Amino acid sequence: MPGIDERRPFIPVGFAVLTVSDTRSPGEDKSGQTLSDRIEAAGHRLVRRDIVRDDAEAIRKAVLGWVADGEVDAILTTGGTGFTGRDVTPEALEPLFDKRMDGFAEVFHRISYDKIGVSTIQSRATAGLIGTTFVFVLPGSPGACKDAWDGILQAQFDYRHMPCNFVEIMPRLDEHLKRGKS
């Protein structure tokens, strides 16, 4: 049965939050704030936060800069996962993934379905690894950000979560890079 093993220590992780929007300012960024608040409430470090336009190059530049930053272990983007012409976050980031995390989208949609029903199909949430950095591409609504954090990410970024979690595999994430991509 999954749960928290209180005998294990909590290990804080460094997060970056990127909001992708042509219209939001820092004071209006409810989704980015939702993620930031949850990261800090869980005991992790919010080491970077920014807003970029719905532009593939701007998204890539921000994410790759954070991938190169030794303090950032995981990046959460919010926005740009729909179907309109300006929604380009998956197209910007998926080609950069060294490894895809298909299970994230599947579990996210399962959780989302319970809340919003079939409207969940309008999100192209995705995730993967770029080098040794986890990258999660989330929808731009505060509700979707809550669902992703509360239902998936909070547990997976808690070293005490059993039977397994992302934190315990972090020291081995570069094995595929050392031996070459499979």
pLDDT in tens, 3-22: 999 999 999 999 999 999 99
Q: Looking at residue 45, what is its pLDDT?
A: 98
Q: Rg of the chain's alpha carbons, rounded to an integer?
A: 16
Q: Looking at residue 174, what is its pLDDT?
A: 85
| Cα distance between residue 65 and residue 52, in whole Å | 13
**Side chain identity, residue 167:** V
Q: Looking at residue 47, what is its pLDDT?
A: 98
Instruction: State whether the Cα torsion 164-98-130-125 is positive or negative.
Output: negative
Q: Looking at residue 144, what is its pLDDT?
A: 97
Side-by-side strand order, sheet with 45-52: 45-52, 14-20, 74-78, 133-138, 126-130, 99-100
Q: Looking at residue 175, what is its pLDDT?
A: 81
Beta-sheet pairing, 14-20 with 45-52: parallel
Q: Looking at residue 177, what is its pLDDT?
A: 67
Q: Looking at residue 124, what is its pLDDT?
A: 97
Q: In the 8-state DSSP scheme, what is residue 155? A: H
Q: Looking at residue 48, what is its pLDDT?
A: 98
Q: Looking at residue 39, what is its pLDDT?
A: 98
Q: Looking at residue 100, what is its pLDDT?
A: 97
First vs last C-alpha separation in the chain = 33
Whose tokens are 């239902």? That residue is: 151
| Cα distance between residue 35 and residue 143, in whole Å | 10
Tokens of 63: 């994410």
Tokens of 47: 């080491």
Q: Looking at residue 179, what is its pLDDT?
A: 61
Task: List, for residues 62-80, the tens digit of each pLDDT value.
Answer: 999 999 999 999 999 999 9
Domains of the chain plus CATH, in order, are 13-173 (3.40.980.10)
Backbone angles phi, psi at 4, to 5 degrees: -95, 130
DSSP 78-146: ES--SSSTT--HHHHHGGG-SEE-HHHHHHHHHHHHHHHGGGGGG---EEEEETTEEEEEE-SSHHHHH
Residue segments in the chain with a per-residue pLDDT below the cut of 50: none
CA neighbor of 144 nearest in space, from 176, 119, 169, 178: 119
